[in-house]
Chain A
Amino acid sequence: MTLNINGVEIEDTFAEGFKMWGTRVIITAKNRKWALEAATKMTGFATSVIGCKCEAGIESEVTDTPDGRPGFSVLLFTPSKDDLPKRLMERVGQTVMTCPTTACFNGLPSDSMLSIGGQLRYFGDGYQASKVIDGRRFWRIPVMEGEFLIEEKFGMQRSVGGGNFLILGENGDVTLEATERAVEAMQKVRGVVLPFPGGIVRSGSKTRSRYKFLIASTNDAYCPTLRGNVNSALPESVNCVLEIVIDGLDLPSVEESTRVGIRAACIPGIRRISAGNYGGTLGQFQIHLHKVLA
């Protein structure tokens, strides 16, 4: 079966997603500038669990925050349940608590709760104080600027990482433009983040290498410069490939994000949309492109 959108071929393949654990953090501050600053720092260097121990991104700007101040919602994912509180503690402690005027709230009601503020409070060295507001406990940690307010517990849930699709274009300019359009559309979907810079990956990888010390190396079959050297997966007219990786709190959100992203990316100059997988042998989720676009 062939599928075309605006003349762009959608390959009959699937993205292979993996089980992750995810949480949502609401960061607020005196103004938008500082809330964004903290959210940006918290999600920095969190593109791939391979090198960053977690994956994170800014989900959206939030207008209805617990303290009524400007805020941003951040999603953070780890492959293991035990890693999530560690990564969250590190990042909230080093990037949100240190940032002027911020406060930090749980954004994910869940049966599985992590004690984050409940642990970070010890930074207060005995001068921390708690407040229970509307049945939720918050910790007031004295800092040089005044007080850092953080919720005691944050929810976590089983999530999906590694959703992806590849945009194969005639040249670099049009491929980047199409990918940017896709990212813009996908950022409106709740429950997902695109953890790579600007939501885009240019250096997709395969899970092997000729070098023993590497577990992953460049995805040579999709590198246009290697078309004559390797068994290329690229049509002759394709000269650039960009990838979008999606992490989501649940599978429907990842599928919805994939759907709107692909539709937005199908512009003139794009030849094919594909996806990365490992033959279905590694990931627990298969996101079939034709199915999500049906």
Chain B
Amino acid sequence: MTTLTLKSQPAVPLEAETIMPDRFLGKTTAEIAALPVTYGNQSTTLGDWFTVNGDGTSDIVIEGDLTRVKQIGAGMTQGKITIHGDAGMHLGATMRGGEIAVHGNAGDWAGAEIHGGLIRIMGNAGHGLGGAYRGSRRGMNRGTIIVTGNAGNELGATMRRGLIAVLGDVGDFCGAFMIAGSIIVFGKLGARPGAGMKRGTIVTFQPPELLPTFRGACTYQPTFLQMLMQQLRSLKIEIAQNQIEGRYRRYVGDMNALGKGEILVWEGK
């Protein structure tokens, strides 16, 4: 295990995409400390900002308030990063494998455009969770993101595959322009969920305010949802049995787009 402890809060964001198991593996403590990080317009090293302990393994633990440390785990393909504190923007963006666990909040664009792996945020997440960067055609494309608290706007926007589960509330435009994939929100959906979605699934347990371009279809018990719920249970998310076996009202849309997306609203047992 490699432990990084933040020495002092940077005044401007630190671009720390080198903090990932792929870059740490096989390196000595000194080599890890020498890895570059960008501070404003200056080239610095990890050792300038963090106390580094342990040799390079695939298991990284980071301690401190990392609100201004960006891109932790971005692009990682393996291993695990555990953060005790808040994480900055772009956490795990474009990652392809491995796991990130944040015992705190995460900034905007966490898990943006990820292609695999698992991100667990025990606090709140910012805007653009699992979404697509401006100008990108696709957001999240495989992988799983779980947020114990709330999440911001444009969650899962333009996502193509994968699963996002939020136990709290989410902001506006959740699942906007979704191509496929699944979003499960246990709290409240913000305004205009699923706007422009082609395919994909948004599940909610609170009555949402739907766009007029969504049409009611039926009330039923979708078997695939039971599988998704079982998957979440295997990730230690507590889910009531009546949420697994319950009936869901299916709304299809967005009719302004392809119209093959769906918003499933839990109606109870």
| Contact present for B220 and A67 (CB under 8 Å) | no
Nearest A-chain residue to B180, judged by Cβ: A130
Please choose the segment from B107-115, B185-193, B221-229 that sits at the chain A interface, where 4 or more of its residues have CB less than 8 A away. B221-229
| Contact present for B221 and A67 (CB under 8 Å) | no
Known: A68-B244, A147-B223, A149-B223. A133 touches B218 (CB 8 A): no
Tell me if B161 counts as interface (CB < 8 A to partner A).
yes
Complex Cα distance A69/B228, Å? 13
**Cβ–Cβ < 8 Å partners of B230 in chain A:** 66-68
- Residues of chain A touching chain B, judged by Cβ–Cβ distance below 8 Å, are 28, 66-69, 103, 127, 129-134, 138, 140, 146-147, 149
**Cβ–Cβ < 8 Å partners of B260 in chain A:** 127, 129
> Which of these, B222, B227, B228, contacts A147 with CB under 8 Å?
B222
| Contact present for A140 and B218 (CB under 8 Å) | no
**Cβ–Cβ < 8 Å partners of B223 in chain A:** 28, 67, 69, 103, 147, 149
| Contact present for B228 and A133 (CB under 8 Å) | yes
> Which of these, A129, A130, A138, A146, contacts B227 with CB under 8 Å?
A138
| Contact present for A131 and B244 (CB under 8 Å) | no
| Contact present for B231 and A134 (CB under 8 Å) | yes
Nearest A-chain residue to B220, judged by Cβ: A146
Nearest A-chain residue to B230, judged by Cβ: A68
Interface hits, B194-228 → A, CB 8 Å? 199, 201, 218, 220-224, 226-228
- 23 residue pairs of the A-B complex, CB under 8 angstroms, read A66-B227, A66-B230, A67-B230, A68-B227, A68-B244, A127-B260, A131-B182, A131-B227, A131-B228, A133-B163, A133-B224, A133-B227, A133-B228, A134-B231, A138-B224, A140-B222, A146-B221, A146-B222, A147-B220, A147-B222, A147-B223, A147-B224, A149-B223
Nearest A-chain residue to B142, judged by Cβ: A132
| Contact present for B226 and A67 (CB under 8 Å) | yes
- Residues of chain B touching chain A, judged by Cβ–Cβ distance below 8 Å, are 142, 161-163, 180, 182, 199, 201, 218, 220-224, 226-228, 230-231, 244, 260
> Which of these, B163, B180, B224, B244, contacts A149 with CB under 8 Å?
B224
Nearest A-chain residue to B244, judged by Cβ: A68
* Most chain A CB neighbours (cut-off 10 Å) among B142, B220, B226, B228: B226
Number of A-B residue pairs, CB cutoff 8 Å, is: 47
| Contact present for A129 and B199 (CB under 8 Å) | yes
Can you add 5 more A-B contacts, CB < 8 Å, to A67-B230, A129-B199, A132-B161?
A130-B180, A131-B224, A146-B221, A146-B222, A149-B224
**Cβ–Cβ < 8 Å partners of A129 in chain B:** 199, 260
* Most chain A CB neighbours (cut-off 10 Å) among B201, B227, B244: B227
- The 3 A-B residue pairs whose C-beta atoms are closest, nearest first, are A146-B220, A149-B223, A67-B226
Known: A129-B199, A134-B231. A146 touches B224 (CB 8 A): no
Give the Cβ gap from B219 to chain A, nearest Cβ, in Å: 10
Complex Cα distance A179/B182, Å? 51
Give the Cβ gap from B145 to chain A, nearest Cβ, in Å: 15
Give the Cβ gap from B58 to chain A, nearest Cβ, in Å: 20
Nearest B-chain residue to A68, judged by Cβ: B230
Nearest B-chain residue to A145, judged by Cβ: B220
Complex Cα distance A28/B245, Å? 14
Nearest B-chain residue to A69, judged by Cβ: B226
Nearest B-chain residue to A133, judged by Cβ: B227
**Cβ–Cβ < 8 Å partners of A28 in chain B:** 223
